[in-house]
Structure 1
């Protein structure tokens, strides 16, 4: 039986046995953090006697709390602290609401990431009622490198959820077969942009580049519709591994190649497609890079390099949401200015309103913008006679 735990609200009395300790000299452990935070130099062991109020006070002081109690109680503690971190900033504009939301999410991530757990040399989590986490850990990190591994509990929970998605697979509209996403790779649960691709004419026999491929879902849709071949790139090794595995599962590996690259592969293609990060803000961690693109650097470089990677008569396909414009992060007309600068013109467009859950959630701080979000598929070609 796991030890009893007091309700999360009874958290003002610190547990008497919790004394900070330093790792013994020579005692090695591996530290994993998606935000590249440095390894903690001191851990404070805590157990089921610690309530949310006391925990939050200690986390705000910068302590790293090493949870040693019951797994389900640890999850309840995370939830109770999250509720206490709710923010009440009043925003007068969509941009202010966005900034406040990001500050709140960053604070939540920083705070909760200081509740950590330790895994042994086989990635066994030694908490009462803990699930087997070894497979999820090996999928993300490979084999253990030290006798112990320390990881934020919230991150480990995310890895367990991702492992379940990877096991079960995800149905994607228009895709024959299931997609099996990996941890840390953008999950295409928002299918608006995927469905735009289903109406794409003249795919058969085309050579395709997929820039920033993620899971590879756009490549696979085009291959199943008759594209001759796809060379896909991504700057994240996890995305490349994910795309390769899914190509094998779907029987498309012979016509599909995934490369770890900064942007374009070498050569030219008939179709060059990209669904770039759509929010021009700095990413806070590795996972953020699928959504956040500081100063629109990825998008600007994609547009700049597109003409030189198109075969004669080739087309660029850009999938882009207007949420950044609605939030005030980009001025109206920004994309048109970039296309002019890069000597590109729009051949045609197809658009769809957002249908994801946040677009319908009136309690969401960004509902005013998200409810008006539109995602557009732009077909881009070089300006005839352009420089």
Structure 2
């Protein structure tokens, strides 16, 4: 849990109040807080939020949801302008998304933690104990009153439902992966399909799944008959999530989940297969939850390539799953990628490509449509030279 040391202070009913600030996105506690309720208009709330004043909601919970939706419509009246280049369009898009997140994050709701768990003390508020415990930890670890943005709370509740219901994965014959809060969900199934259909290399030995996340790729490899897979990650939530999923899918005998930054300890290996699906865009994440999408300086990508050759068994392969969206946006060039591969003592033995199936790829109104419409996701088969 991220929170400011001093919490949030405000004046209500003539008295000074204070509460803990909760923000998994790493947002700073608001400096100014005004009380709002069912009499607050959307125009007034939007104006105050744009000016940097947070609104602490004291009305009906469903009224807060309606107000947030109305504020979102006002933010979206000014879509990001297209830039002169794809790269400029990308930066303008990210600026607009950052502003949208900042403004909508100004609508706050109270969140209490006590012996009975978490609760939102508002009329018609839903039960949130299970969802908040998953995101913030047990209520008993940080009891008392706190404030959280309604937008974040909605995300926490939604993530809890994803975790509870699971995401069907065709490559697992429709079995479900259950993503935890803060762990990237395999909703873009094309990269999973690539791992499911690419012929396995012939030498025996373990496989490594670098940056396993939910453990979906390890599960696919185990279902394909790979007898031993070491799945690594450095995020405690991802490690717990992957361990839970391989247990659910009854492949825990084949998959060992290990905490590591990229490769497992040197005692493991050499590997017949090393799989890595790094974040696809070399840009700075705006929040901890964006680390699955943005890889500053291509750190994970370059670290995987640099360390791959010494970890491969003779005849073994490294599978790099990567979208070329960064190339279409001007964030990284194809020659740059090929140069990193060559410098790491690797060669390209083959490549499997697939077009994305997500809605944005065909949405002409998306600010990045020109780049997204040309995107291809590839599985690069790499071997040591």
Q: Same fold (TM over 0.5)?
A: yes
Cα distance in structure 2, aligned partners of 1:285 and 1:207: 34
Q: 2:38 aligns with which of 44, 48, 56?
A: 48
Q: 2:110 aligns with which of 103, 107, 118?
A: 118
1:279 alignment partner in structure 2:
281
2:371 alignment partner in structure 1:
369
Alignment of 1:9-24 (within 5 A): 22-24=16-18
Matched, 1:35 2:25: yes
What stretches of structure 2 of length at least 5 have no aligned partner? Answer: 1-10
Matched, 1:195 2:193: yes
Post-superposition Cα deviations, 1:7-55, rounded to whole Å, max 9, x if no partner, equal xxxxxxxxxx97796435xxxx443212323334653221111122111
CA contact (8 A) 2:284 2:296 kept: yes
Q: 2:136 aligns with which of 138, 141, 148?
A: 141
SS at match of 2:168: coil
1:351 alignment partner in structure 2:
353
2:3 alignment partner in structure 1:
none
Cα distance in structure 1, aligned partners of 2:17 and 2:272: 57
Cα distance in structure 1, aligned partners of 2:380 and 2:15: 57
2:245 alignment partner in structure 1:
246
How far has the Cα of 1:174 moved from its partner?
1.4
1:380 alignment partner in structure 2:
382
SS at match of 1:228: coil
SS at match of 1:198: helix
How far has the Cα of 1:104 moved from its partner?
0.7
SS at match of 2:301: helix
CA contact (8 A) 1:70 1:127 kept: yes
Assess, with a 3 A threshold, how the Cα gap between structure 1 residues 85 and 251 changes in structure 2: closer, same or farther: same
Assess, with a 3 A threshold, how the Cα gap between structure 1 residues 292 and 19 changes in structure 2: closer, same or farther: farther
Cα distance in structure 2, aligned partners of 1:193 and 1:322: 12
1:83 alignment partner in structure 2:
73
How far has the Cα of 1:232 moved from its partner?
1.2
1:291 alignment partner in structure 2:
293
CA contact (8 A) 2:201 2:315 kept: no
SS at match of 1:227: coil
Assess, with a 3 A threshold, how the Cα gap between structure 1 residues 199 and 127 changes in structure 2: closer, same or farther: same
Alignment of 1:51-200 (within 5 A): 51-86=41-76, 87-88=78-79, 89-121=81-113, 122-144=117-139, 145-176=142-173, 177-200=175-198
TM-score by length of 2: 0.89
SS at match of 2:133: helix
Cα distance in structure 1, aligned partners of 2:213 and 2:221: 15
Cα distance in structure 2, aligned partners of 1:20 and 1:341: 66
Cα distance in structure 1, aligned partners of 2:199 and 2:40: 60
Moved more, 268-277 or 39-48: 39-48
* Root mean square deviation, CA, Å: 1.9
CA contact (8 A) 2:162 2:178 kept: yes
Post-superposition Cα deviations, 1:148-194, rounded to whole Å, max 9, x if no partner, equal 23211111101111111111111111114211111111111111111
Alignment of 1:227-238 (within 5 A): 227-238=226-237
How many residue pairs get aligned? The number is 363
Matched, 1:308 2:305: no
1:223 alignment partner in structure 2:
222
